Amino acid sequence: VRSVGIAGLGSYVPERIMANVDLEKIVDTSDAWIKERTGISHRHIAAENETTSDLAYRAAQDALKDAGISAEELDLIIVATCTPDMLFPATACILQEKLGVKGKPSFDLEAACSGFIYGLAVGSQFIASGAYEKVLVVGAETVSRVVNWQDRNTCVLFGDGAGAAVLQPVEKGRGILSFHLGGDGAGGDLLKVPAGAAAMPASAETVAQGLHYLHMSGNEVFKFAVRVMGDAALKSLEKAGLSKEEVCYVIPHQANMRIVDAAMRRLGLPMEKAYVNLDRYGNMSSASIPVALHEAYREEKLKNGDILVLVGFGAGLTWGSMVLKW
């Protein structure tokens, strides 16, 4: 089994910024409430003609450049998204076309906000086994397209964006040291977009009832998130044979500052070890972790040999964590 690591990172967020004060004009909310309950101050929202694959394309180009390779050299393209351009074709195929290459295996992976960690875990298997050399994993979302902009309980929480990583073989003992993935379908009702796919095709009725929008039981998701983040992080550390004291940075899913705070406390690590940027982006689902990882890298916070833990949770329910040696 070969060791696999990240050879390049990239990210992209739409230009348009929506601040909390802009939301005050749309729903009955306030900048103070949103900041206090979530930690978010603004988020980026895709332009009308901008799709998930467009964001994925910009992030992918950035990651390819960072890795110093062309799209032609990729053996596989994985896009983790729960807001694909269409039900099919896969956004990964649309991305391939935008990257100007042909013949590459390309597929989407749906694990909601845990999608990027799932994507890294899946993509790395092809390299570990020796089947492929270079795999592109993108987490890309336009969550703004599925939120109800009249529902203050949800519309204030999310943002759009994309992050990408190029995986390749690395020297033994570096890169991905371990991962832990989990799921619980019994919690599927806590967070879902009920209509618009095959179980409940879009109709005038589903639209009238708002069933094509994201529906969430915020408090339940909150409790689940706090519990699972700490536990998942500890499980992957245990698999890597490392103690939590050896962790340099935790890159958590960026849903809510209070969730990050509670999860870090559960983990028994100080908040300084968590990389947080949700104040500027909101929850970008599968894009949150790669955008945060890319930012930490760009800000030169990650040093050679540092131990990082990526950890996330999302609809499904799903969760995942991964230990990396930088």
Q: Which residues are catalytic?
A: 113, 253, 283
Among 104, 152, 239, 266, binds ligand ACO (CB under 6 A): 152
Shortest Cβ distance from residue 10 to ligand ACO (Å)?
22
Shortest Cβ distance from residue 147 to ligand ACO (Å)?
10
H/E element, 23: helix 20-24
Residues forming a β-bridge with 80: 109, 139
In the complex with ligand ACO, the residue whose CB is nearer, 9 or 216, is: 216
Strand order in the sheet with 175-183: 175-183, 318-325, 307-314, 249-252
- The single-letter code of the amino acid at 229 is M
Distance CA 309, CA 200 (A): 38
Dihedral sign for Cα atoms in the order 274, 275, 281, 287: negative
3-state class (DSSP) for residue 33: helix
In the complex with ligand ACO, the residue whose CB is nearer, 188 or 268, is: 188
Among 91, 168, 254, 283, binds ligand ACO (CB under 6 A): 283
Shortest Cβ distance from residue 217 to ligand ACO (Å)?
9
Work out whether 191 is an interface residue with ligand ACO (CB under 6 A): yes
Among 40, 76, 308, 315, binds ligand ACO (CB under 6 A): 315
The answer to whether the peptide bond before residue 293 is cis (omega within 30 degrees of 0) is no
Work out whether 288 is an interface residue with ligand ACO (CB under 6 A): no
Shortest Cβ distance from residue 150 to ligand ACO (Å)?
12
- Is residue 282 within 8 A of residue 46, CB to CB? The reply is no
Contact mark string toward ligand ACO, 13..32, x via CB under 6 A = ----------------x---
Q: Record the tokens describing residue 108, joined without a space.
A: 């989407």
Distance CA 261, CA 171 (A): 34
- Is residue 20 within 8 A of residue 34, CB to CB? The reply is yes
Work out whether 225 is an interface residue with ligand ACO (CB under 6 A): yes
Work out whether 229 is an interface residue with ligand ACO (CB under 6 A): no
Q: Applying CB under 6 A, which residues contact ligand ACO?
A: 29, 33-34, 37-38, 112-113, 152-153, 156, 191, 216, 218-219, 221-222, 225, 255-256, 283, 285, 314-315
